[in-house]
Every structure is written in structure tokens, then in C-alpha cells.
Amino acid sequence: MAKHNYAKMLVDAGYKVVVVEQVERVAEQKERVVSASGPSCVERDACEMFTKGTLVDPELLGGAGARYMAYLHFEEQVGNGGANVELPFAACLVDAATSQIFVGRITDGRDRNALRTLLAQVQPSEVVYTVSNLPGEVLGMLRRLPCRPQLSPMHAQTSGLVARDRLARYRSAHPGKLSQALESLLNHESVVVAVASAMDYLDVVLLGQRMLPFASWDVLDHVCSSSSAASGAGPNASSRRMVLDATALSALEVLETLEGTYKGSLLDFLDHTSTQFGFRLLKQWLCAPLLQVDEIRTRQDSVEFLMQNLDVTQRLKDGLKKVPLDLERATSRVWGYAQQAERHAVMYEDITAKRLGDFMVLLKAYEQSIQLLAAVLPASRTLPERLTRITRTQGQGGGFPDLQAVILHLRGSVVDVPNPKSGKSKFRPADGADAQYDSMCQQIEQVKANLEAELYALKSRHPNVSLGFIHRPPAERYEVECDNDALPKPFMSTVDITSQSKARTRFKTK
């Protein structure tokens, strides 16, 4: 789509892009102008907004890596000075493409090593902050980051009271969304402000209603690999993952070389993944190596199985490469369709049919993945514990949900209707699958029948005149067309003439 091509160039150059589209039909505009004062042109409004850290469309995302929007909120200094001074801050990371949100409170020191580590591991595409809250040295650090995030200052700081009210309304609307671990973090006011401000920013970029109702929330420990990052408690023997700070990541060239390039880094060398979501998981593993011996051995058992069964490994790789979608991002996008039509623009194409088509492609991708696992790793084959957990269905003792029955039900709820004129086909809900859709279809058919009856009545009154409907989308539909001067002038004075040419007149009855 040309819009996305131009938007991507602007976003990559550091700009924010707002898409303004028509949100009012011509007929609605005419009624509004007659009934009330206002602008004579059709109404237009902002329908989409693209920023570096909030992209969701595949055409804009580019690579497989996660694009995080990070909101940072800094607390007052703890301690009177010296080496033991603490500079805690809260962070809220949002991956809009997969609808994942990570929250943490991090205890830092004068050297800002914890912040450097977080930024080095996450490599945010956009950093949002309140101008009055961000320390000057941190702003300088953000401007010097190799990943060059887009900096989005907010001039009005959200108070703790307003932030807690925002979260209370979210809990009320979506009970059970926030885990107990996350609720314990929300005892800190800085975390509450960071989360509420991130939610406010998602509203600003027109993603709040689409993403927040079904977002997946987690503590930041799962991203930045440190229990201290999530809770503020220092490293301890129960930590599940090793903390690779910014210095280690740079010296070991884990994510990029000393020259600042991805090519030649450890991640580049180890990346033999077959899917985009596999690449994102590998990156997390490299930034957060396991510490617990039992977990390391469990992973090693699975790796050993795959290395000893290269035929299985190759079949899995070949099959996964054929999956047509990034399942994480595509699932999030389709769920967003279910929550809200993210653009309020007037659509002169059947946008519902297009989205149902996207949904059917997603179902096919899931079905393809399930069939691949069943063929390559049949239930009769003994697998290591970790592989059993991630490839077997819950009915087979694993953790993978049994989706086949759900997929069959959903596929049966959508039908493919061919268009004899264009040769293309489009999807629509099957009869009986959606009562609201069926009701709307019945109303539409009734309106069409009434229009046809009106045309038949006109033809009966004027049998010697050639009358017929003409459609001129997007402006007008169901106009009656006839030859100029074919109908008597008294009759024409009772209709609404919409347009005239040298030979034809188009009108609507009142």
C-alpha cells in the first residue's frame, strides 16, 4: 500500500505520521449542513498515527525484532550521597505489534548502569517521558544510544491520584488482567505513573482501545533478565537468569559489534531461526542466559534430542518456514480488529470482508502449525520434558492448547462468496453464525426491496420513459437516471436532482 510505503520512510526518518481521512459520508454531510450550522465540507479526522515504537502493520514493521515503546519515570534520590545512593526508576515497555506490556521498578546507582543495561537489552524504538521528570544526564544518554530511539516528550505529568484512578478503571473493565506479581509492583507510585502514562500515550496514538482490552501484562524480569529489575531487590541465589549488563553486552558483541552493526554479532552468528517469533525468543535467551541448573539441563535435553534426530529438526524447520504469518503479531492484529475498527474512516470497500480474509489466513497458519507438529512429533513418540510441554496438547499431557476443534468451528462460521463479475471472492459470516450480522443483512435487503418497489412505481406512472438505477460510488448510490426532458416538469419539481449532463438527468425521490 502506497500509504504505508510513504509512512515508513517518514517514520524511519524520525517523524510521526498522522493519517487524516473522511469520517462522514456525503449524504450525512448534506443532512448536517441543512439541520445545523457548520463547515460545508465533509468532516475529516485523525484515523491512524504511526510512531517508531507503536507500529503494528506488517508493511511498517520491517524486521523480525520487537519494536518497544518505553515509558520511563524516575523517583527521587534515596540516600544522602556517597557510593550507596539509590536512583530508582519505573519502566513500562510496550510491544504494540504483539500487544505485550512489561512493567518493572529498577534500582539504579549514580553510574546509571541498570538503565544502560535495560536500554542495551531492549533497544527501544521510542522512549516516552515527562519533561519535568527526566534527569538531564539521562536525556543525553538517550540521545547517544546506538539504536537511535525516537524521543517523545510529554509536557503534562500524570499525578499519582489520576494514575491510580486510570488503573482502577482498567481493572474494573478488565478484571483479572494484572497478575499478583504485577499488582505488588503497583504499590510503588512511580510504577503506577509509568503504567498509566503509557496507557495515555497509547490513547494519543489511537491504539488504546484496540490494544489494551486484551494486552498481555508481565513483569519486566521476563525481558531484562534480572529479578532486581522487576522488584528492586538485588541479585540473589534464586535468580533464574543471569544479568548481562550494558558493558558485557557490548564487550561480548551479543547484539551488535563494536562498530555498531548487527552483522557479525553473536546474535547474527547464532540466528538460524525459521520464524520471526523464534528470532525474538532467541534474542531474549541471549540477553538472559539461564542460571538454574535444572532449567539448563531441561533445555539441553531438548537440544540434544533435536541434534540426534536431524531428520525431525529439518522437517520442523522446513515446515515452519512455510507458515505464512508471524503468528504472534498476526494474532494481535486480528484481535485488534475484534475490539475496534481502529480507523473511523468512511470505507468505500468491504473492509469486513478483507479482515475476515486476514482471519482465515491466520486460522490456516495455526492449522498448518498443528498439523506439522502432529506429523513430525506424533503422540506415540517419546519426547524430552520441555518438548512435551511446548508441542503436546493439554489432553496429551503438554501445555499447548487444543485448537483444532476451535479452528474447525470458526472456519465453518465463515463462507467464501465468489464474485462472477471480477472473478475474485470475498469472505462473509455464514448464515446463522452471527445474529447481529444476519439482522443487518435482512435490513439491507429490505431497504433494497423498498428501493426496487419505488423504481417499479415510477416506471408504472411513466411507462414510456426509460428509467433505471445508477450507482456512482463513493458519492451517490441508487440514483434514478432518465433522458433529459423525458419526464414532465411538474413531476421534476417534486424530486431532488443530483446531477445533469447533456443527455441524462439523475435524481432521487423525496
Range(s) of the domain holding residue 192: 68-291
Please state at what angle helix 351-376 crosses helix 327-339, rounded to 10 degrees. Answer: 140
In a domain? residue 487: yes
Cell numbers describing residue 465 = 420513459
Q: Same domain, yes or no, for 333 and 424? A: yes
- Residues 8 and 60: their CA atoms lie apart, in Å, by 6
Query: Cα 450 to the chain's mean position, in Å?
Result: 41
Last residue of a domain, one of 398, 429, 460: 429
Q: Is residue 10 situated within a structural domain?
A: no
Would you list the DSSP string of 110-136? TT-HHHHHHHHHH--SEEEEETTTS-H
Are 180 and 271 contained in the same domain? yes
Find the mean pLDDT for residues 349-353. 69
483 within a domain of the structure (yes/no): yes
The reported pLDDT for the residue numbered 340 is 54
Both 272 and 311 in one domain: the answer is: no
- Mean pLDDT calculated for residue range 429-445: 90
Q: Are residues 264 and 129 in the same domain?
A: yes
pLDDT at 237: 36
Q: Is residue 111 part of a domain?
A: yes
> Is the residue at 176 inside a domain?
yes
CA atoms of 393 and 403, how far apart (whole Å): 9
Cβ atoms of 193 and 187 closer than 8 Å: no
pLDDT at 339: 61
Residue 485 sits in a domain of what CATH number? 1.10.1420.10
Give the mean model confidence (pLDDT) for residues 170-180: 90
Residue 437 resides in a domain: no
Query: Where does 263-384 have alpha helices with state H?
Result: 266-270, 276-287, 293-308, 310-321, 327-339, 351-376
Average pLDDT of every residue of the chain: 85
Give the per-residue pLDDT at 345: 55
Between 280 and 421, whose confidence is greater? Answer: 280
- Which of 242, 261, 291 is where one domain is finished? 291
215 φ, ψ (degrees, to nearest 5): -60, 150
If asked whether residues 269 and 305 sit together in one domain, one would say no
Residue 5 pLDDT > 50, yes or no?
Answer: yes
Domain boundary among 291, 308, 339: 291
Whether 99 and 171 map to the same domain: the answer is yes
Q: State whether 275 and 312 are in the same domain.
A: no
pLDDT at 238: 42
Is the pLDDT confidence value at 168 over 90?
yes
Q: What pLDDT is attached to residue 103?
A: 94
pLDDT of res. 475: 63
Predicted local distance difference test score (pLDDT) of residue 294: 92
User: Per the domain annotation, does 504 fall within a domain?
Assistant: yes
Same structural domain, 497 and 422 = no
Alpha helices in 56-186 (DSSP H): 58-61, 113-122, 136-143, 160-173, 180-185
Residue 441 has pLDDT above 60, yes or no: yes
Residues 342 and 409 in one domain: yes
Residues 150 and 247 placed together within one structural domain of the fold: yes
303 and 276 in a common domain = no
**The predicted structure's pLDDT at residue 393:** 86
Cβ within 8 Å of residue 238, ≥6 positions away: 227
> Would 197 be classed as within a structural domain?
yes
In angstroms, what CA-CA distances link 110 with 79, 88, 228? 11, 10, 16
Higher-confidence residue of 239 and 184: namely: 184
Q: Is 60 exceeded by the pLDDT of residue 222?
A: no
- What confidence tens digit (pLDDT) does each residue in 104-162 have? 999 888 889 889 989 988 899 999 999 999 999 999 999 998 888 999 999 887 888 99
pLDDT tens digits, 357-383: 888 899 999 999 999 998 998 888 889
What's 162's domain CATH number? 3.30.420.110
Cα gap 414→357, rounded to integer Å:
9
Q: Which secondary-structure segment (H or E) carries 91?
A: strand 89-95
pLDDT digits (tens, 9 = 90+) for 42-97: 778 888 899 999 998 888 887 788 899 999 999 987 655 555 678 899 999 999 98
Residues 89 and 178 reside in one and the same domain: yes
Number of domains in the chain: 3
Is the predicted pLDDT of residue 224 greater than 60, yes or no?
no
